[in-house]
A and B are shown apart, each in its own frame.
Chain A
Amino acid sequence: AQSVAQPEDQVNVAEGNPLTVKCTYSVSGNPYLFWYVQYPNRGLQFLLKYITGDNLVKGSYGFEAEFNKSQTSFHLKKPSALVSDSALYFCAVRPYNTDKLIFGTGTRLQVFP
């Protein structure tokens, strides 16, 4: 079965420190990969995507993600966290032959001042 795993329910990081939110996937073929962020009582905001090409993808608000095909991972990173980055982050995968997104369970990022 196709799936997306976000192994950490919550990630805590001090403001100014680098952050990593992990994502691994199990999908056949070459999928498209996405990261979304959700603030309380809001819908999801698109952060970045990987389609093909350079394994390091840069997105909104200083976030970036690294695609690793051999490890089937797509971890979200940011060099210096802000308190305002505190939110719920979802990794999503779109198998190559469908429009549907498969979401991970989400990781709550808490950035402390």
Chain B
Amino acid sequence: GAVVSQHPSWVICKSGTSVKIECRSLDFQATTMFWYRQFPKQSLMLMATSNEGSKATYEQGVEKDKFLINHASLTLSTLTVTSAHPEDSSFYICSASRDRSPRVQYFGPGTRLLVL
């Protein structure tokens, strides 16, 4: 149990285009979903926290208009990188939390984005 999927697993796009990444909890309802970014050989940096039906809470320094997050249902959250630029190239990982407490986060397999 507690499986989280992401789609696509990797994407290459041209600079200036927008890319949408989906995160799904397959066998549980996720009260909260999280989006992280991981640079090579570095740790995970939290970008935003989203709760179903409400606006996402972004971490300091993360551009809301550039990284659009939609949490449409208890099993689906999407991250859209708008007007992508090469510096947005990274590994994006989502996680989902189902428990009331202590709310273990279960992670998706990640999406590697390369912006040319």
Contact = CB atoms under 8 A, between A and B. Distances in A.
A109 B97 CA distance: 27
Name the prevailing secondary structure of the B interface residues. Answer: strand
B6 interface: yes
Interface of A: 32, 34, 36, 41-46, 49, 51, 90, 94, 99-101, 103-106
Contact of B43 (A34, A49, A51, A103): A103
B76 to A, nearest CB: 17
A46 B43 contact: no
Contacts of A32: 102
Contacts, number: 52
Interface residues of B, number: 23
Residue in B32, B43, B110 with the greatest tally of chain A CB atoms within 10 Å: B43
B10 to A, nearest CB: 9
B102 A100 contact: no
Interface of B: 2, 4, 6, 32, 34, 42-44, 46, 49, 93, 95, 97, 102-110, 112
Contacts of B4: 43
A52 B103 CA distance: 14
Residue in B44, B105, B109 with the greatest tally of chain A CB atoms within 10 Å: B44
Which 6 pairs show the lowest CB-CB distances between chains A and B? A43-B107, A44-B107, A43-B109, A103-B43, A43-B110, A105-B43
